[in-house]
Amino acid sequence: MVGGMGAAPQDLMKMGLDRACALLRECEAAIARGDRLTKARSLMAAHEIVEFLLGISGAEPGSLSECLGKVYRYALVAMLKGNATDDPVAIEAGRTALEELAAAWRRIFPDALSWAAE
C-alpha cells in the first residue's frame, strides 16, 4: 500500500496514467473548440499527475525507473509544447506515450485498478 493513499503502487500508477490520459483527451478537445479555460485546467491537472508519477518513479533507482522517467519527461515536454502553441498534435504525442505505458502496465499487472474518465 502507498502510505496514506490506500492503493497498491501498481494500482496508483495505473489510476494516474488513466486519469492523465483522460485529461489530455479533454485538453485536445478543448483546443479543437477554442476553449482555453478547459485546456488550461485539464492540462494543468494532467501535468501535476505526470510530475507526481515522475517523482515516485525514482523511489527505487534502476533501469525501470530510468525508462519510466524518460516516458514521463517526454510527456511533460509534449504538454509544454502543446500548451505554448495550442498544438493538439503535441498533446496527442504525450498522451500516446502515456497510453502505451498504461497498456504495458496492464499486461504486467492485469489486476491493477483502473480509473476511467467519468
Query: Looking at residue 40, which CATH number applies to its domain?
Result: 1.20.120.340
Give the burial class of 7: count Cβ atoms within 10 A of its Cβ; 0-12 exposed, 13-18 middle, 19 or more buried: middle
* Residue bearing the bigger pLDDT, 60 or 106: 106
Q: Is residue 54 a part of any domain in this protein?
A: yes
- Asked if residue 118 belongs to a domain, the reply is no
1 inside domain:
no
Q: Is residue 97 part of a domain?
A: yes
> Is there a domain that residue 13 lies in?
yes
Q: Is position 59 within any domain?
A: yes
Quick check: is 114 in a domain?
no
Predicted TM-score of the model (pTM): 0.86
| Domain count along the chain | 1
- Domain holding 75, by residue range, is 9-108
- And the C-alpha cell for 13? 500508477
Residue 22 C-alpha cell reads as 483522460
Instruction: Name the pLDDT band for 117 (thresholds 50, 70, 90).
Output: very low
pLDDT of residue 54: 93
